């Protein structure tokens, strides 16, 4: 009888259907350590559903502008680009790092209902830590204000959250900051940083003690 304990596998990453272009390099990378694309067009992008960082290669000489939304789903007849690989945060170009904030903010605001629902339904992780406390800027005091307000009536929008819980002047921005923390593979994944609320677990973190938490 084999009594060896097997390590739990990371949950399978959810597939992206669309991606936002962060940077488009028509002549490929110029860095020596990324020379596989030297002379070949490559785009850096972020998935529009699960914020997966991706490298895309154009199909049929397609060209992209920063901010374009590109279909990358299973229907090959609609695709303008194919996914070459997932991308580590530290390998983002300077342009991609600048555009990342704007792209995440655009996605969060376009899916406002989804993220407002997080404020309405997020529960405790343990007796000491609540999911709301994973959001930068929310401690115990603000957490209880949110819980008390949503008991009276569920939140309907980011504006509604700001009006009923005044310390949260920019709830969308707070979500953006949390998503950036989850994507950043240069951050040690301990404490609050070991949890993933909104993103797929990065490849580099799959063997660490990270936890994917549903709302």
User: Strands 211-212 and 195-196, how do they pair?
Assistant: parallel
DSSP line for 126-174: SSS-BGGGGSTT--HHHHHHHHHHHHHS---SHHHHHHHSTT-S-HHHH
The confidence score (pLDDT) of residue 206 equals 43
- Residue 44, token pair as written in the block: 């850096």
Whole-angstrom distance, CA of residue 142 vs CA of residue 170: 13
| 132-190 pLDDT, tens digit each | 999 999 999 999 999 999 999 999 999 999 999 999 999 999 999 999 999 998 888 88
The confidence score (pLDDT) of residue 144 equals 97
Across residues 5-28, what is the average pLDDT? 78
88-120 in b/e form (b: 16+ CB < 10 A) is ebeebbeebeebbeebbebbbeeebeebbebbe
Domains of the chain: 18-110 (2.40.50.140), 112-212 (1.10.150.280)
The confidence score (pLDDT) of residue 15 equals 86
- Residue 201, token pair as written in the block: 């677990």
Across residues 1-25, what is the average pLDDT? 73
Instruction: Give the torsion sign (CA, 28, 30, 31, 36).
Output: positive
């Amino acid at each position: 009888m084999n009594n060896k304990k097997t390590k739990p596998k990371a949950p399978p990453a959810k597939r992206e259907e669309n991606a936002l272009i962060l940077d488009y390099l028509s002549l490929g990378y110029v860095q020596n350590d990324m020379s596989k694309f030297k002379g070949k067009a490559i785009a850096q992008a972020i998935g529009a559903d699960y914020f997966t960082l991706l490298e895309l290669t154009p199909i049929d000489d397609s060209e992209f502008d920063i901010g374009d939304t590109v279909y990358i789903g299973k229907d090959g007849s609609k695709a303008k680009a194919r996914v070459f690989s997932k991308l580590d945060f530290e390998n983002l170009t300077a342009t991609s790092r600048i555009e990342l904030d704007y792209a995440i903010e655009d996605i969060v605001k376009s899916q406002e209902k989804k993220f407002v629902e997080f404020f309405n339904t997020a529960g405790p992780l343990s007796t000491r830590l609540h999911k709301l406390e994973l959001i930068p800027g929310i401690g115990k005091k603000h957490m209880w204000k949110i819980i008390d307000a949503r008991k009276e009536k569920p939140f309907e929008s980011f504006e509604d959250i700001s009006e009923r819980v005044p310390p949260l002047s920019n709830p969308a921005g707070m979500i953006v900051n949390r998503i950036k923390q989850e994507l950043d593979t240069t951050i040690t994944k301990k404490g609050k940083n070991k949890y993933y609320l909104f993103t797929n677990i990065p490849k580099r973190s799959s063997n660490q003690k990270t936890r994917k938490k549903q709302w």
